[in-house]
Amino acid sequence: MSAHDDTLQAHGHGHGESEVHISLGGYVTGFVLSVILTAIPFWLVMGKVFDKSSTTAMVLLALGAVQIVVHMIYFLHLNARSEGGWNMLALIFTLVLVVITLTGTLWVMFHLNSNMMPGMQTTKTLP
């Protein structure tokens, strides 16, 4: 071993078990999965596979969530072991903030709609 290798291992830059190994095969697998997970929603919408649009929307949301996970694993190289678990903790914190923001936004919009336009909610007929 050379002096340079000793210096790298002394500073924690050696090949440890938690180090992410990047390979061309991993990128190709991620790319193929991303293309498939993008083509399926287009086919579902353009082919009108489901009768109800709400079913299509739920399937699209599920496929979108799967695609996010594929990108995080294959392209961002996030897992529970990388960076001592701090990456996963930061991801969970980000997801909690996104859920709180989206839920709050939907709640405010729903209540603005029902409270600002009360005349639009009733269907009274005038004599």
Q: What pLDDT does residue 63 have?
A: 93
pLDDT tens, position by position, 51-74: 998 899 999 989 988 998 899 889
Question: What is the end-to-end Cα distance of the chain in Å, rounded?
Answer: 97
Phi, psi of 23 (to 5 degrees): -135, 160
- Least Cα distance to 16 among 79, 113, 83 occurs for 83
Structure tokens at 58: 């739920």
- Least Cα distance to 73 among 88, 90, 84, 60 occurs for 88
Distance between CA atoms of residues 21 and 66, nearest Å? 22
36 vs 113, higher pLDDT: 36
Structure tokens at 77: 């190289």
Structural domain spans, the chain: 23-77, 81-114
DSSP 18: T
Distance between CA atoms of residues 28 and 34, nearest Å? 10
Q: Is the pLDDT reported for residue 82 higher than 90?
A: no
Distance between CA atoms of residues 110 and 27, nearest Å? 42
Confidence of residue 100 (pLDDT cuts 50, 70, 90): very high
Number of Cβ within 10 Å of residue 113's Cβ equals: 11
Non-local (6+) Cβ contacts of 22 within 8 A are 77
Q: Is the pLDDT reported for residue 46 higher than 90?
A: yes
85 vs 37, higher pLDDT: 37
pLDDT tens, position by position, 108-120: 988 887 777 666 6
State the average pLDDT over residues 19-26.
77
3 vs 99, higher pLDDT: 99
